[in-house]
Amino acid sequence: MTESDLTSTPGEPSHDDAAFFASVVAEVEQEAARRTEEGDYPRALLRRLDETFRRWIPEGGRSTGIDDAIRSIEAASYIDAGVPVESNRRAGTAVKTAVRKATYFYHRHMAQQIAALGIQITRPLRLLATTTRQLEQRIVALEDRVDLNVASRDELLAMLPDPLLDPPSYELISRHLAGVAGRILVGEVQGSGLVRHLVDAGLDAYGVGPTTDPHATLELSPEHLDEHLQRLEDGVLGGAVLVGAPDRLALNEQVRMIDSTVRRCGNDARVVVIATDPGHWGTRVGPVAADLTGSRPLHPATWRHLLERAGVSDTSISAGDDGIANIIVGTVRR
């Protein structure tokens, strides 16, 4: 259906607006997918916004919430002794005004005591808030020391390409995963090619990644891999393909990723790690990213060691068709 087929006469009553608008939405989704495939997708920008959101979203009880809560308590404990005197009846207003005048000295005295109590309550809360803020500043300083610059690292990471895989590599991966019982996680995906290939091969695959393409036909969730893994129960996955993330993470994150991925896999689940060979890393991403991201893909033997240490057997290493990526596969045995 073309765009002109879909446009309608202005103001014309439609008996099937819902169907018409649903077809427009389908076209809109196709347009978004087409723009994405053509490279219009502002990947770095959207990742930066996502990171900004994550950085500013408060954890429960962090100082932002405490400060606002204290301000609310202070406001609420400030009692106005001048009670309203409006009334439905004319005489009521006069009576209330007289009572207010007569009892004002009493109410003012009570209100002053309640306000003083409010101040006494909020004082230790302010002290607590200050301590929390100081702790937070120390943590941020510590993070800065171990992690060069979060914002610039995120921007650089967003621009790193996934390892290039050709159809023969896809075949190798789908053959290894064939026949697994359970869902197959692919993370973190930037494009949808591998997930699409696995689904076309009859596998129950889905992808997670912060910048997934908006393809309606595939199950792609815009999550970080580590957050997704935290949400899963142990032993629920039939297979897992780690791609992209192995290249982008720092050493401690890489080790944690392998351990938690294997934990989420059931017995006999198949695991695949696709990582750029460290020898080609610098030339592939350029010197700036190689120096500043703090990320460094591991040697294939190291990936194999980490997988085996986490409980993966029958491991093997293949070189990708481009000669740059390594594909390490294995089976979880418990």
Partner 1 sequence: MTLQVHQLVPTITPRDAVGNHTFRLREILRSMGYSSDIFAMFRHGEVAGDTYLADQLPSDAHAVIYQFSIGSPLAERWARHPGRRLVNYHNITPVELVGRWDGLLDAEVRLGRQQMADYATRCHHAICDSEFNQSELDELGYVSTETIPVLFDVAASPPDKAITGSIKRSKRGLQVLFVGRIAPNKAHHDLVAAVKVVRDVYGNDAHLHIVGTDGPPGYRRLVDEIVQTAEMSQHVTFHGSVSQSALVAFYQATDVFLCLSDHEGFCVPVIEAMHHGLPVVAYDCTAVGGTVGDGGLLLADKHPMIVGAALARIAQDQGLADHLAAAGRRRSADFTLERTTERFKASLTRVLDHPPDQP
221 CB-contact burial (10 Å; exposed 0-12 / middle 13-18 / buried 19+): middle
Selected range binding partner 1 among 54-62, 106-114, 231-239, 266-274, rule: CB under 8 A: 54-62
Binding mask 176-215 for partner 1 (x = CB under 8 A): --------------------------------------x-
C-beta of 248: minimal distance to partner 1 in Å? 20
C-beta of 11: minimal distance to partner 1 in Å? 5
Q: Binding of partner 1 at residue 216 (CB under 8 A)? A: yes
C-beta of 189: minimal distance to partner 1 in Å? 14
CA distances to 31, 169, 210, 258 from 187, rounded to whole Å, are 25, 17, 10, 12
The residue within the footprint of partner 1, chosen from 1, 2, 44, 58 (CB under 8 A), is 58
Q: Binding of partner 1 at residue 132 (CB under 8 A)? A: no
**Which C-beta is closer to partner 1: that of 66 or that of 242?**
66
C-beta of 172: minimal distance to partner 1 in Å? 31
Give residues 21-40 in contact with partner 1 (rule: CB under 8 A): 21, 24-25, 27-29, 31-32, 35-36, 40
**Which C-beta is closer to partner 1: that of 65 or that of 167?**
65
The CA distance from 273 to 244, in Å, is 9
Give residues 70-129 in contact with partner 1 (rule: CB under 8 A): 72, 84, 86-88, 93
Ramachandran category for residue 39: left, alpha or beta (phi over 0 → left; psi -120 to 50 → alpha): left
**Which C-beta is closer to partner 1: that of 17 or that of 200?**
17
The residue within the footprint of partner 1, chosen from 1, 2, 53, 105 (CB under 8 A), is 53
Residues that contact partner 1, how many (by CB under 8 A): 53
Binding site residues, partner 1, CB under 8 A: 3, 6-14, 17-18, 20-21, 24-25, 27-29, 31-32, 35-36, 40-42, 45-46, 48-49, 52-53, 56-62, 64-66, 68-69, 72, 84, 86-88, 93, 214, 216, 222
